[in-house]
Every structure is written in C-alpha cells, then in structure tokens.
C-alpha cells in the first residue's frame, strides 16, 4: 500500500515508518512540510498515496496553552489540509488524536463512544482536528486516540531519569492518571488496524493505567534508580501553564473487538528499557 506519513521525523512517525516498512508497505518520500500551509494539499494529492498516516502535530501541552493560535493552526487547520488532500486523491487517512479530548472527570476509562469535552487548548485543537477530518472524509478515516507516548527523544521516562540524576529527589503528581504508551506498540496496532479496512474511532494505548507518580516509580526502578526518593504531590501543588484532565485513561473496546490489543504498560516500558540497553 502506497503510504505517506506526515511528521515522519517525530518519535511516532519513525516508529510507524519502521513497522510499515517491515510489513512491506511502500513508504513515499515526502519532505518535511508545514501542514498548516494550504499548499500541502496538492503536494500530497499529486503523490497519489493510498494511505496517509497523519502524525504531524503540536503536542507540547503547555506550549499549546501559551500559544493556542499555533495549536489550532497546526492541529486543526493542518489536519483539515491533510484530510482535503486525502479526499482529492481518494486516500484513506489515519489521524492520531489524544486522550486529552476528554475532560478527565470520569469514574472509569473513556470508551470510543464517550462524548469529548476538552479542557485545554491542546485537547480542543486535537478535537477540532478530529471534526475536520470527519467532515472531509465520510469514509476511509481512522481516528486513533492515544496517551502518554514515549519511545525516543526527551519524553517522560528520560525526563524523570534526568531529574533524578540532577536533583537526587523528585516530586510527582498522584492525581493525574492515564495510559503510558510505547510508540512501537502503537505503530503495530495502527498497522494491524489499516489492514482491517474497518474505519472509525479507536483507543490504542498499552493496557492498564496509572498515575504519573506510579509511572515515575516504575521508570526509576527500570532505570536502576529506585533509591531516589520521590514525594507524591497533587496537581494543585504543581504549577504549569495548562490544565490537564486528571483521570483520562482510554479503554480499547473497538480495537479489541477486531482482535487488536496492546500489552500491559509495565511490560511495554520494560521492553523499551531493554531496547535502550541494546542500543548502547
């Protein structure tokens, strides 16, 4: 399948490219381009991809809060451009979205049919992207929501270890709950999904959920720093530009019905640390 990946240089884009190439997808060479520029519409459509995996996004939650106009330009109107291009060349589209389309006030993990209600500019811009894509593509659209991605770069595990080494102790919130998700596992799930040709909304995260505090504890253990003291704090004690949904784990119902399930987050995190050791 002729496939184009926006944001291919990012951590998720790289993981998806690796998995799809291993599964004999034909990955098109598409140079880095600003998705919010309408000129991307003909640039994509003239390549005639059969599938576009749209990973390009502004994902810095606090950055989106500081500059909501940029967040909407990239995450909403950029997605509109990509969806328009898919419509022009009759390509399927995978849109990567987020658990932050929900307000985090649920008493259970969010299912695919739960009503979104974002509480910050990042979540609002990504929800608008979902709506833009659905407006253009009445068929051929996969919306894949995920959460707490890691798999390369300076993400939560790396930040925790760096802070532990620098300060010798940590303060981490206990009342923000979600699903840590390994980019490689998400990429495998996306590859399995597009083979089904079953369009719709999907929640793909590693199974189970935890607080940021519990996540940090496991990172320290796997990183050989479980002697570093870690103090639990609340979101109210942690000052940041953006509000975050306090309890927003996702439940994989639609994907599981197709036989697509991701391993528990603890197993995935251990595999990630093992892969990093293998790279040394």
Q: List, by residue number, the catalytic residues.
A: 122
User: What distance in Å separates the CA atoms of residue 100 and residue 126, rounded to the nearest whole number?
Assistant: 8
Q: Please state whether 53 falls in left (phi above 0), alpha (psi between -120 and 50) or beta.
A: beta
The length of the chain is 280
Q: What is the DSSP string of 100-164?
A: GGS-SB-SSPBPTTSPP---SHHHHHHHHHHHHHHHH-SSSEEEEEE-SEESSSS-HHHHHHHHH
Query: If we measure between CA atoms, which residue out of 57, 22, 44 comes closest to residue 192?
Result: 22
Q: Alpha carbon of 188 to those of 83, 91, 182, 223: distances in Å? A: 23, 20, 10, 25
| Beta-sheet pairing, 2-6 with 51-54 | parallel
Place of tokens 């399927």: 92
Cβ atoms of residues 92 and 47 within 8 Å: no
In degrees and rounded to multiples of 5, residue 149 shows phi and psi of: -70, 145
């Amino acid at each position: 399948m002729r496939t184009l990946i926006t944001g291919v240089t990012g951590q998720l884009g790289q993981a998806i490219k690796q998995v799809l190439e291993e599964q004999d997808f034909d990955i098109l060479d598409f140079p880095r381009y600003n998705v919010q520029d309408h000129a991307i519409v003909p640039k994509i459509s003239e390549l005639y991809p059969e599938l576009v995996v749209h990973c390009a996004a502004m994902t810095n939650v606090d950055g989106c809060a500081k500059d909501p106009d940029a967040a909407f330009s990239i995450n909403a109107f950029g997605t509109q451009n990509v969806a328009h291009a898919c419509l022009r060349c009759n390509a399927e589209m995978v849109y990567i979205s987020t658990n932050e389309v929900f307000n985090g006030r649920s008493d259970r993990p969010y299912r695919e049919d739960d009503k979104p209600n974002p509480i910050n500019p990042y979540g609002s811009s990504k929800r608008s992207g979902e709506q833009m894509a659905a407006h253009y593509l009445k068929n051929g659209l996969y919306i894949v929501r995920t959460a707490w991605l890691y798999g390369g770069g300076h993400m939560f595990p790396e930040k925790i270890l760096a802070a532990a080494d620098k300060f010798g102790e940590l303060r981490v919130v206990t009342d923000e709950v979600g699903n840590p998700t390994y980019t490689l596992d998400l990429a495998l799930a996306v590859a399995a999904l597009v083979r089904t040709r079953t369009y719709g909304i999907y929640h793909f995260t590693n199974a189970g959920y935890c607080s940021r505090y519990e996540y940090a504890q496991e990172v320290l253990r796997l990183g050989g720093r479980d002697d570093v003291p870690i103090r639990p704090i609340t979101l109210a004690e942690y000052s940041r530009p953006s509000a975050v949904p306090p309890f927003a784990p996702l439940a994989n119902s639609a994907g599981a019905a197709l036989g697509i399930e991701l391993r528990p987050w603890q197993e995935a995190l251990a595999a990630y640390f093992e892969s990093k050791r293998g790279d040394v």
